[in-house]
Amino acid sequence: MGTKQMWVFGYGSLMWNPGFPVAERKIARLDGFHRSFCMRSLHHRGTHQRPGLVLALDALQHGTCQGLAFRVEPGAEEQSLSELRERELVSAAYLEVDLAIDLRGGGRVRAITYIIDPDHVQYCGGLPLEEQAQIIAAAHGGRGPNSEYLFNTAAHLHELGIADDELDWLDARVREILMQGQPQS
């Protein structure tokens, strides 16, 4: 990658666990997509027997998603890209794309971004929020409970001052289900 800066756009777990050396991070916006629990997780937050749900960027005309832009530490680009691909492309449900994002405070950069492949078998866009909450409350995968993924993401969005009404609703509903001890399958 030489002297060219490498940016990565995070909208879910990358925001709180980038997994690569970060030289700079800025709040950023990506247009034409929205953050959504539209991907069944068979590895990290669920299993083949009981899939969980993870966030993905789903294409949406006039949609927008706020997240974090990370500039990878110079010299760590190749290793970081390799590790990102190992993490994000486990099942080929995500597509790796290079998209323009707008940095808060001004500026536009191109960033490696992982979006959902709507033709992939793990795609499940449009599930009702209550169904999403029930799945998230019950699922557990190799990286832990699906609810932990939701709670961490919602907490980091709040810390950053990024509003996401659907995630806030899911956060509250999944906590309610877990307190009642009754996730339904």
Residues with a known catalytic role: 88
Contact 33, 95 (CB under 8 A): no
Q: How far apart are the first and last CA of the chain?
A: 46
How far apart CA 18 and CA 135 sit, in angstroms, is 25
Distances (CA, A) of 17 to 22, 97, 166: 11, 20, 21
What tokens were used for 59?
Answer: 């294409």
How far apart CA 37 and CA 170 sit, in angstroms, is 10
